[in-house]
Chain A
Amino acid sequence: AQSVTQLGSHVSVSEGALVLLRCNYSSSVPPYLFWYVQYPNQGLQLLLKYTSAATLVKGINGFEAEFKKSETSFHLTKPSAHMSDAAEYFCAVTGRAGNQFYFGTGTSLTVIP
């Protein structure tokens, strides 16, 4: 079975500061991992995904995430926060055999000017 845990339902950072959103996964098989961003009243937009090709994954809008098997983590980072990064972020995992996505509970990112 797969699951993800997002530590911190709310994260606030100053504009220009480092963004770190945490995601830990549980999977009985090598997982595929995803980070999505959701703006108010919109669907989910894919930021990046881990599919075992490389442990450091670069995504859109300057975000990146590193897959660490030893820590079962896939934390999302961005060196310098922009006001436009304020949104809800979801981590998700899926097994290689199945279709179903398992979403974390989400982290709301606030960027303080």
Chain B
Amino acid sequence: GAVVSQHPSWVICKSGTSVKIECRSLDFQATTMFWYRQFPKQSLMLMATSNEGSKATYEQGVEKDKFLINHASLTLSTLTVTSAHPEDSSFYICSAKIDASVHNEQFFGPGTRLTVL
């Protein structure tokens, strides 16, 4: 149980295009999902908290208009990288918190490797 999937697992795109990454909780409902970015050999950096039915909460320094987050259902959150540039190349990981969780545990997706040419 508590499986989170991400699609695609990797994507290569041209500079200036937009890329959408999906995060799904497969066997539980998740009102709250999180998007992280990870640079090589570094820790996870929280980008935003995605809340079903409301606007995402972005961390300081993260551009809302560049990283569009939509949490349209209790099992799906999407991250769209708009007008991608090579500096957006990174490993993006989502996580989800079980609504009934009492320990705030997050379950992580397998990550999406984005390469912008």
Contacts and interface: CB of A to CB of B under 8 A. Distances in A.
A93 B107 CA distance: 14
Nearest to A102: B46
A27 to B, nearest CB: 12
Interface residues of A, number: 24
B48 to A, nearest CB: 11
Closest 7 CB pairs of A and B: A44-B108, A43-B110, A43-B108, A94-B104, A51-B103, A43-B111, A105-B43
Nearest to B6: A43
Contacts of B42: 105-106
Contacts of B69: none
A30 B76 CA distance: 31
Interface stretch (A11-19, A34-42, A61-69): A34-42
Contacts of B75: none
Given A41-B113, A42-B111, A105-B43, 5 more contacts: A43-B108, A101-B104, A101-B106, A103-B44, A105-B42
B49 interface: yes
A43 B109 contact: yes
Contacts, number: 54
Contact of A42 (B4, B41, B110): B110
B91 interface: yes
Contacts of A103: 43-44
A41 B10 CA distance: 10
Nearest to B2: A46
Interface string A92-113: 0011101111011110100000
